[in-house]
């Protein structure tokens, strides 16, 4: 109850104050080594990444997976983090500044299958706070527009070993824009929304799927890895 009351109170604070409170909270978690998610895939990343590898976090939000990737690939590795929502990106950047390694490239855009501008909708929680976790790209008119870009357009040269995709229903489009990289590098893919297009695309590339108990994500791994 107190948490709900606190959140309803915070919803009436100026946006800058809300951001400052969140920055303080997340940075305290990072210092206490408590900045993490309870998703089982977060722990399993250690099986898939080694120092010097590259990883891509699509829909990075505030950076729970971004930090995990950063820690695992180390100073010689590289993490690319896509987060299109400006307010969330601000927190992601503040959090990344606290990471042990300066190995994160932050991209304030959405991974997609072409470069263009799209609207993005942000729902509200019952408390009145914005639900940035549920932000989703939309073709409809929107007050907020963001840039999109295919991952393949970046021409990445590193050993991309993991791609995590949490794009609120935009997941198939993200993979469509990364088909060349996936075919060449065969990274492990952790994805939240699996459509028939995703299943067909990845099975066509020889991927096998699995799920962890209690998780809403699907893990796709190539037998060659």
Tens-place pLDDT, residues 42-65: 999 999 999 999 999 999 999 999
The pLDDT value recorded for residue 27 is 94
Model pLDDT, residue 108 = 96
Structural domains for the chain: 2-221 (3.40.50.150)
Q: Is 191 exposed, middle or buried (0-12, 13-18, 19+ CB in 10 A)?
A: buried
Cα torsion for 49, 176, 180, 135, to the nearest 10°? -40
pLDDT of residue 34: 96
| pLDDT over 90 percentage in the chain | 69
Instruction: With a cut of 80, say whether residue 32 has pLDDT above it.
Output: yes
- CA 102, CA 98: separation in Å to the nearest integer? 9
Residue 207 confidence (pLDDT) above 50 = yes
For residue 159, the tally of other CB atoms under 10 A from its CB is 16
3-state secondary structure of 221: strand
Burial 45-80 (b: 16+ CB within 10 A, else e): beebbeeebbbbbbbbbbbbbbbbbbbbbbeebbbb
For 125-152, write each residue's pLDDT tens digit.
666 666 666 667 667 777 788 899 999 9
Q: Average pLDDT in the 23-27 region? A: 94
Q: What is the mean pLDDT of residues 160-187?
A: 94
Binned at pLDDT 50, 70 and 90, residue 193 comes out as confident
CA distance 160 to 178: 11
Residue 38 CB-density burial (10 A; 0-12 exposed, 13-18 middle, 19+ buried): exposed
């Amino acid at each position: 109850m107190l948490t709900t009351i606190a959140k309803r109170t915070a919803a009436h604070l100026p946006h800058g104050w809300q951001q400052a409170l969140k920055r303080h909270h997340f940075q305290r978690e990072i210092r206490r080594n408590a900045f993490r998610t309870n998703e089982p895939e977060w722990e399993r990343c250690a099986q898939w990444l080694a120092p010097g590898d590259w990883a891509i976090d699509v829909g990075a939000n505030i950076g729970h997976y971004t930090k995990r990737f950063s820690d695992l690939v180390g100073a010689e590795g590289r993490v690319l983090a896509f987060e299109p929502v400006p307010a969330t990106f601000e927190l992601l950047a503040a959090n990344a500044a606290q990471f042990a390694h300066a190995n994160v490239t932050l991209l304030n855009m959405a991974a997609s299958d072409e470069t263009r501008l799209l609207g993005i909708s942000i729902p509200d929680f019952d408390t009145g706070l914005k639900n940035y976790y549920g932000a989703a790209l939309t073709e409809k008119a929107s007050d907020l527009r963001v840039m999109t870009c295919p991952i393949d357009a970046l021409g990445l040269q590193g050993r991309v070993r993991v791609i995590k995709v949490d794009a609120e229903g935009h997941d198939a489009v993200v993979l469509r824009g990364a088909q060349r990289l996936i075919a060449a590098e065969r990274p492990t893919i952790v994805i939240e929304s699996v459509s028939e297009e995703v299943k067909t695309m990845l099975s066509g590339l020889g991927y096998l799927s699995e799920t962890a108990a209690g998780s809403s994500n699907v893990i796709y791994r190539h037998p060659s890895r």
